[in-house]
Amino acid sequence: MKVSDSDVDLETVKTRHQALTEEVEHKERDVEQKNGQLNDAELKRMQASSLLTSLEADYASEFSKQVNKRSRVVMHPLIKTSISEQTCSLCGSHAPHVAKSIQAKIDENLCPLCNSPIPGESTGQDFMKALRDIDKRIAETRKQLDSANKSKERISLELQGVEAELEGMRASLRQYESDNERALMQLLSPGSGIDLAVKKKTGEMQEYLKRKDEWGAPIISTTYNERLPAFSTGCLTSVIWFFS
């Protein structure tokens, strides 16, 4: 609300301006905190998504490994030819027992060539257990991913709300500065005590601008005196926040 120049109380203006400034600073910290929470939620979402992809790959690999291992033996050309022609494709022996001997090894879930175990009824339970274990982890990870997605969405909406509140507070501060520009100028007049503070803070402002360029983002001060804003009224009030 604009106050007539004759009724202005410089101390009241200063106090109100400081209160509005600190409200903005507090809300900026809220925004910063929400951004941190959003980053954490996104990290959890990415971790769950990565784990799910890995588990699904493990499931496919385990399934393929078990199924293909037996298929490679049974469907191998040497085995198929040896059984169908009753002739060993390695040594050339030809007799009815050749096919029976090879088939017997396969039925016993053994490799006809090296006698190593191959997946079959004897290892089927272990195979299915391995798949069930992976499938259980996949289900749990999907729940984690769903929870992370919901958490990220919730925090994102909360961040939008806090940012809207911050913009409203900044608008109120700009309006107050505009309505009380003359009073704020008087606070900067010679003898007010502010002119010395301005000179003292000039170097700090230069350092702030340098840090801002290096960091690529505004630096949020924690006190009214340390604040270096760019008000809508220009350089007029950019030093008012030095006033304690």
Cβ atoms 230, 238 nearer than 8 A:
yes
Contacts for 5-10 with beta carbons within 8 Å, 24 or more apart?
5/182, 5/183, 8/180, 8/182, 8/183, 8/186, 10/183, 10/186, 10/187
What was the pLDDT predicted at 143?
Answer: 94
- As given in the structure block, the two tokens for residue 180 are 């009380």
Residue 28 · residue 222 · CB < 8 Å:
no
What pLDDT is recorded for position 203? 62
pLDDT above 90: residue 23: yes
pLDDT above 90: percentage of residues in the chain:
29
- What own/partner pairs with CB < 8 Å and gap ≥ 24 does 68-71 have? 69/118, 69/119, 70/118, 70/119, 70/120
Question: Which residue type is seen at 148?
Answer: A
User: Tell me, what's the pLDDT at 75?
Assistant: 66
Q: What's the mean pLDDT in 22-48?
A: 94
**CA angle in degrees (0–180, nearest 5) for 134-138-144:** 145
Mean pLDDT of 4-17: 74
Output the six-digit token pair for 43. 């990290």
Percent of the chain scoring above 70 in pLDDT = 66
Higher pLDDT, 207 or 47: 47
State the pTM of this model: 0.54
Task: Calculate mean pLDDT across residues 75-82.
Answer: 74
Of the pLDDT bands very low, low, confident and very high (cuts 50, 70, 90), residue 242 is very low
CB 140 within 8 A of CB 51: no
Say which amino acid occupies 157.
L
* pLDDT tens digits along 117-167: 776 544 556 777 888 898 899 999 999 999 999 999 999 999 999 999 999
Q: Is 130 helix (H, G, I), strand (E, B) or coil?
A: helix
Q: Which residues contact 131 (CB under 8 A, 6 or more apart)?
A: 59, 62, 63
Q: Which amino acid is at 1?
A: M
Residue 185 or residue 232, greater confidence: 185
Q: What is the DSSP letter of 110?
A: B
pLDDT given at position 70: 63
pLDDT band at 76 (very low <50, low <70, confident <90, very high): confident
Alpha-carbon dihedral 200, 201, 205, 207, rounded to 10 degrees:
60
Higher pLDDT, 115 or 28: 28
Better-scored residue on pLDDT, 89 or 142: 142
Does residue 199 or residue 21 have the better pLDDT? 21
Q: What pLDDT score was predicted for residue 90? A: 77
